[in-house]
Amino acid sequence: MLSVVNEDGTTQSGSLMDGIVCEGVRRMLAATLEAEVNQYIVELAVSGTRPAPLWPHRC
């Protein structure tokens, strides 16, 4: 995404650095979540068992 940067280093929606930091944080969180999901899938495949439900079924 391209932004017009003012002389003082700000953009229309805030500082350019804020946008860079926010995007970096978003990417790190997405990568962390993806790694945790992948690890869960691997552990599930290795154990060969079904995961416990997150809530009790009352049927």
Contact indicator for 23, 30 with CB cutoff of 8 Å? no
pLDDT in tens, 24-43: 999 999 999 999 999 988 88
pTM beyond cutoff 0.95? no
Range of 30's domain? 10-47
Q: Is residue 20 part of a domain?
A: yes
50: pLDDT confidence band, cut at 50, 70 and 90? confident
Q: Is residue 29 part of a domain?
A: yes
Mean pLDDT of the chain: 80
Instruction: Count other C-beta atoms under 10 Å from residue 11's C-beta.
Output: 14
Q: Is residue 57 part of a domain?
A: no
pLDDT score for 34? 96
For residues 8-28, average pLDDT: 82
Q: Distance (Å, rounded) from C-alpha 14 to C-alpha 7?
A: 13
Sequence-distant (6+) residues with CB within 8 A of 3 are 11, 12, 13, 16, 19
